Structure 1
Amino acid sequence: MSRTSVLALRLAGPLQSWGASSRFTRRTTESAPTKSGVIGLLAAAAGIQRGDDEHLAPLAALRFAVRMDQPGTRIRDFHTAHHGVTGASMPLSERFYLADAVFVAAVEGDHALLTGLRDALRAPVYPPYLGRRSCPPSEPVDLALYEDTRLEDVLASVPWQASAWYRRRHRTPQALTVLRETAADESAAAADVQRDQPVTFDAAGRRHALRTVVTDSVSTPIPSGSGGPQDAHDPFAALEALENESA
């Protein structure tokens, strides 16, 4: 009987963009990493080629969840391009990103498969990126591999991963939002649906199916290296008050 383990990832970088849908010249981003984007990241690290659906299928079958440790700020950029053959200008497009965001993503499944994926992240065939190739991670993605456990337990215990500057400027939140797939033995009555279940990444026609997503929350775990919960005192509060008065 196979063992069930969880691979946790820290997704942090100056910019991220996790699009679940795009219409014409408007490329939006979700507020948190999509399953399709994270599975694509893992597949690239493992060297799985686009269109190799046989090797993609075991990754797509992993149960997925993401915890929002630092929501970031949504920003908009305008993108120009020229046709590679004719040189003609392409239509101006809008592209949306999350700036300064940090997430903990996790996949649950067979221990041997996750061990291989963890090793692939440490020596990737193709470099990882956070939704788009223009969005590299700011540090290694691999966080930890947890044996004989479940998504819910891992996301409730992994230390809060928010950046140091963010922790200085913000009080520790009481809870962190978690978006997770329903378990096999769980009712999906209260779940939402999202079309980001990867079926194929073939460039000739990518396809995604629906999956069920439950919104939960967990108490914020103590950050790594912290001696206890963050003091409610904010040393930047006085400076920010002065800035507001002079504005």
Structure 2
Amino acid sequence: MNHYLVFQLQGPMASWGQPAIGETRHSDALPGRGALLGLLGAALGIRREDDAALAAFNEHYQFILCAGGKPVWGRDYHTVQMPRAVRKQRYFTRREELRDPLLLETIISRRDYYSDGYWLVAVAATPDAPWTLEAIQAALIAPVFSLSLGRKSHPLGLPLCPQLLRGQANEVILAAQTFYQQKLTQLGGRLNTLTQFQPRCWWEGEHPGLVEDEVNIRRDRPLNRRRWQFGPRIVKQGTLQEQTPCTCQK
């Protein structure tokens, strides 16, 4: 039997960054590993400059994801001041870029996001993980830092409502889907339409009960937070198989 921490992510806007070049900032349809580790780290109070804690945290946790049916894609526009291209001139900080106002010009930055998206996340930990799943659950209920969905301007729309579950991974995901569907149905309105889940899920590592039929590589494994460097990781996906649901551990 495996032990998982499951929680929901929902908000009016969410943006899960992809490699960005130029003025366009695309969003993936699923939260990446860096975004999920950042959210859990913020809840626990791990600071961005604490490289040792971030590196240890990165090594000991795996994620399983499933998504709601139909998030709405959108794009907004920002104006950004940038220095004109000057030959042989290099800028090392944003302060240096803005130093000479006569060299500045305004460009339009395009940023993508998803509206009314819903994601279900299951976290598995190694036996020697620096924080237990119980400790992370407590942090998600009372986070140290404010949590957001990819950007600071995208706050949570619903509580994370973290739950501890035991069982095979497919049983855990199906039981969690039923649990959160019931919760949203009780709230009424259009919220109960958010959890019309896609029949597939995405994961990393090996989890009993999950059988992949497709394997992809995503470059979202954090390597260096200060330099914004990310490495590749293997992401599997497959269709959830119905089995006897597991029980929730309160």
Per the TM alignment, residue 52 of structure 1 is displaced from its structure 2 partner at its CA by 2.0
Q: Is the 8 A contact 1:56 1:200 kept in 2?
A: no
Distance 2:212 2:49 in 1: 30
Corresponding residue number in structure 1 for 2:173: 155
Match of 1:23, as an amino acid?
Answer: I
Q: What TM-score do the two structures reach when normalised by structure 1?
A: 0.74
| C-alpha distance after superposition, 1:186-208 (max 9, x if no partner) | 99895211011122322xx0222
Corresponding residue number in structure 1 for 2:119: 103
1:13-28 pair list within 5 angstroms:
13-28=11-26
Matched, 1:127 2:146: yes
1:184 to 1:155, Cα distance in 2 relative to 1, 3 A: closer
Which of 112, 115, 121 matches 2:134? Answer: 115
Q: Is the 8 A contact 2:216 2:235 kept in 1?
A: yes
Distance 2:176 2:37 in 1: 20
Per the TM alignment, residue 57 of structure 1 is displaced from its structure 2 partner at its CA by 3.0
Corresponding residue number in structure 1 for 2:70: 71
| C-alpha distance after superposition, 1:105-134 (max 9, x if no partner) | 111114752111111112212111001111
Per the TM alignment, residue 82 of structure 1 is displaced from its structure 2 partner at its CA by 4.5
Give the RMSD, CA atoms, in angstroms: 3.2
| C-alpha distance after superposition, 1:170-190 (max 9, x if no partner) | 9967x5221111318999895
1:152 to 1:172, Cα distance in 2 relative to 1, 3 A: closer
Distance 1:171 1:215 in 2: 19
Corresponding residue number in structure 2 for 1:209: 231
Which runs of no fewer than 5 residues in structure 1 stay unpaired? 222-247
Match of 1:71, as an amino acid?
Answer: K
Per the TM alignment, residue 42 of structure 1 is displaced from its structure 2 partner at its CA by 0.6
Per the TM alignment, residue 159 of structure 1 is displaced from its structure 2 partner at its CA by 2.4
Q: Is the 8 A contact 2:5 2:164 kept in 1?
A: yes
Corresponding residue number in structure 2 for 1:183: 206
Corresponding residue number in structure 2 for 1:93: 109
Q: Is the 8 A contact 1:129 1:135 kept in 2?
A: yes
Tell me the percent identity.
24
3-state SS of 1:182 partner? coil
Q: Is the 8 A contact 2:212 2:238 kept in 1?
A: no
Corresponding residue number in structure 1 for 2:89: none
Q: Is the 8 A contact 2:220 2:231 kept in 1?
A: yes
Q: What TM-score do the two structures reach when normalised by structure 2?
A: 0.73
Match of 2:199, as an amino acid?
Answer: L
Q: Is the 8 A contact 2:213 2:237 kept in 1?
A: no
Corresponding residue number in structure 2 for 1:226: none
3-state SS of 2:28 partner? coil
Distance 1:220 1:80 in 2: 49
Match of 1:209, as an amino acid?
Answer: G
Match of 2:190, as an amino acid?
Answer: W
1:17 to 1:187, Cα distance in 2 relative to 1, 3 A: same
3-state SS of 2:156 partner? coil
Distance 1:166 1:187 in 2: 30
Q: Which stretch has the larger CA shift, 15-24 or 137-146? A: 137-146
Distance 2:196 2:139 in 1: 33
Which of 44, 47, 50 matches 1:52? Answer: 50
Q: Is the 8 A contact 1:172 1:220 kept in 2?
A: no
Q: Is the 8 A contact 1:176 1:220 kept in 2?
A: no
Per the TM alignment, residue 220 of structure 1 is displaced from its structure 2 partner at its CA by 8.6
